[in-house]
Chain A
Amino acid sequence: MRGGLARAALLAASALVAACGVAGGQSTAGGSTSSTPIRIGVVTGLTGTYAQLGEAQQNGAQLAIQELHGKAGNHPISVLVRDDQIKPDLALSQAKSLVQVNKVDFLTGCVSAATTVAINQVAKQAGIPYLGTCQTEALNRSPDFGPTTFHIAPLPSQDVNAIMPWICQNLGKRLYFLQPDYAWGHEQYDAEQKAAPADGCTIAGVTFAPLGTSDWTPYIPKIEAANPEVLMVGPAGNDQVSFLKQAKQFNLQSRMKIFQFLEDLSFDEQMGFDVTAGTYGATNFYWTIKDPGTQKFVKDYEKAYGKPPSGYAAYVYNAVMLIAKEVAAGHVTPSQFSRALAGSRFDLAEGPESIRACDHQSFQPTYIVQGLTQDEAASKGGSATYGYRSIVRTIPASEQQAPSCSELGLS
């Protein structure tokens, strides 16, 4: 009897735990003065596996508003930030709340390919522009692409196609892929499966691990047994941090080259020089990029937050600045905004970029970075504290890196 009651209570409580979510949220509103304020809703992952990227996005949004002094032309402009905990259902409800309750005019933000689709869905239904700020293959093609959908982060395939030739030529030809088991991880691997053989590499194996994996020890022996020359680390955020720290404990770095598909300063900070030294990574933003727009952004971010920015701060900063620029130019309605932004070029936090007209996909350079030791940080990395990487290769943006408009059915 006691065991039965306890078991029933346990199962009921488990269902309650699975169903519950803390719908936390933060609101940051700029000034509100006249009758046409512009509100930008930012839905991002402030808690969970990618919390560091979410915090960076929030910082980027707030910095942009600060630099705009809360104005886009004559319009007061503000951001409202919501936490989706990288859960698609919560992203959906937060985006709906921003649209229906807070009456936002634009939506932006995301740190997960799973949530960006949900946010975009809400934006499409509401007929307002959405600027996706995380990697996904979904936003620039059917069924998720729409007239007011924009993607100002790269496609996973863009980065894969950019980096794979360099990896196969410089690091090794026998590759093992460790991927997060959700949309983004599969999108990465779909592109990698095609690119690796085309660039002269072979695939030694692939493993998919659930998002949020914290104990990677069961995965490591399998990777070792495959004997790759290069381990492609697909996970990001806390998953990447915990994997690489545990890989270091197993001394994996001494047996194979480690390449992080998504490098970010926020991950490097958590890992430390001891773990990142000697590893390689790909990124679309690094704080030492020698571009005037980038360096201004870096300087302003350092002044506001005491440290260099992460790439994900740059994405949302760019999104808010693009919105403000078009609003100030009088392109306030969704159709005006979309017509103005599609096919445009701009130079903001990430340097020169363009947005392709047919699918509203941004094109930006890809950088390959190498981990430095603490001794090298100041001289080669630009800072004794944050000089985790040096840029070893800059790969310019190219239409060849992404599916063509005709392949997408959008020409």
Chain B
Amino acid sequence: MHLIVNQVFTGIVSGAVLVLLALGLNLIFGFMEIINFSHGAFFMLGAYVGFYLLTAFGSFWWGLALVPLLLLLLGAAVERTLIKPLYRRSAVDPLLLTFGLTYIVTQLVEMIAGKQGETVNAPSQLNFQLPLGFTSYPAYLTFVAVLAGLIVLGLWLLLERTSLGLIIRAGIRDSTMIQILGIDFDRFRVLVFALGIALAGVAGVLNSPVTGVYPEMGNDILITAFVVVVVGGMGSFWGAVLSGLVIGVLVSLTTLFASVYASIVPFVLMILVMTFRPRGLLGTT
């Protein structure tokens, strides 16, 4: 029993980074109707930028503080220069562009930073075992889960309690209507895209002490992040949160009992959801 509780907690912590990634994807898809295939590349970029800031300033915290701002600006620049010209074209065009962008970004990182990757140490302030009653758990991983929770809460408050969030939610529901009502939809598109990219960057920084940084790290996690979005319900905020945590826990428990099947669990779940509940766990029809 103790082992199962331990494993469930581990799954929740593992799922936290997936939740952040999935929320960014969901925001971009929900508001802009764009499937951002470059999301994993920005996750990886965030991790690398965090690594270089750590090297420059000698502290992990600088990376955590600055990466969201830097990726916010980068996301805005990408949206303005690459995505914006495609708005009046086929829905597939932005998908293909972001797909190509993934390879370009990955190759550029390989050329600049090398192919091997780098290791990132958890901040020394969190380099201890935290007694949690039922287990002792690495403090840094607990911090990741807590911070992810705070980011989710902050994002929810932004969407629910601010006029910006009101417009974003309205745009997700009916983008045509808010344009008719005279809202500068274009301005909010850049904001939402940048916010989604910033979330990917934060997820990358948080994940870097766990997995290290390497050029392919975004590709590895992106597919799972898409599965989280689909299982939770495309465009559903709490669906992405629930789905990320559920998938994290299911993978963790499968690892305990039948580890060889753990990697296919997200996809089995996706097939089941798409078959029996196509709108996702918390998606709307």
Contacts and interface: CB of A to CB of B under 8 A. Distances in A.
Interface of A: 2-3, 5-7, 9-10, 13-14, 16-17, 22, 24, 46-48, 51-52, 55, 181, 207-210, 212, 214-215, 217-222, 225, 238, 241-242, 245-246, 249-251, 266, 270-272, 274
Given A208-B260, A245-B119, A217 B223 contact: no
Contact of B119 (A16, A46, A210, A270): A270
Interface stretch (B71-79, B177-185, B207-215): B207-215
Given A10-B226, A55-B116, A250-B137, 16 more contacts: A3-B234, A6-B33, A7-B230, A9-B91, A10-B230, A13-B35, A13-B99, A181-B260, A214-B211, A214-B212, A218-B7, A242-B210, A245-B212, A246-B210, A249-B122, A270-B119
Contact of A22 (B6, B95, B107): B107
Contacts of A220: 10
B121 interface: yes
Give the one of B107, B115, B121, B215 with max A CB within 10 A: B115
B51 interface: no
Given A51-B116, A225-B3, A2 B33 contact: yes
A222 B116 CA distance: 30
Contacts of B122: 249
Contacts of B135: 221
Interface in B216-252: 216-217, 219-220, 223, 226, 230, 234, 251-252
B216 A47 contact: yes
Interface string B118-142: 1101100001010000011110110
A220 B252 CA distance: 10
B116 A6 contact: no
A222 B11 CA distance: 13
Nearest to B278: A3
B112 to A, nearest CB: 14
B259 A209 contact: yes
A240 B216 CA distance: 16
B40 to A, nearest CB: 10
A13 B95 contact: yes
A10 B10 contact: no
Given A7-B230, A181-B260, A225-B3, A249 B211 contact: no
B119 A241 contact: yes
A47 B214 CA distance: 10
B3 A214 contact: no
B143 to A, nearest CB: 11
A215 B212 contact: no
Which applies to chain B's interface (DSSP): helix, strand, loop or mixed?
Answer: helix
A215 B210 contact: yes
* Most chain B beta-carbon contacts within 10 A, residue among A207, A209, A214, A249: A249
B10 A217 contact: yes
Contact of A238 (B137, B212, B255): B212
A52 B7 CA distance: 32
Contact of A9 (B92, B263, B274): B92
A210 B115 CA distance: 21
B95 A9 contact: yes
B117 interface: yes
A369 B127 CA distance: 27
B87 interface: no
B37 interface: yes
Given A217-B141, A238-B214, A272-B121, A17 B223 contact: yes
B260 A215 contact: no
Which of B11, B99, B219, B259 has the most chain A CB atoms inside 10 A of its CB?
B259
B13 interface: yes
Nearest to B254: A218
B256 interface: yes
A51 B210 contact: no
Contacts of A270: 116-119, 212
Name the residue among B6, B117, B278 with the largest chain A CB count within 10 angstroms: B117
B141 A222 contact: no
A6 B29 contact: yes
A249 B141 contact: yes
A51 B10 contact: no
Contacts of B256: 218, 221-222
B103 interface: yes
Interface in B4-40: 6-7, 10-11, 13-14, 29, 33, 35, 37
Nearest to B219: A17
A288 to B, nearest CB: 23
A14 B33 CA distance: 17
B226 to A, nearest CB: 6
A217 B13 contact: yes
B234 A6 contact: yes
A374 to B, nearest CB: 14
Contacts of A272: 119, 121
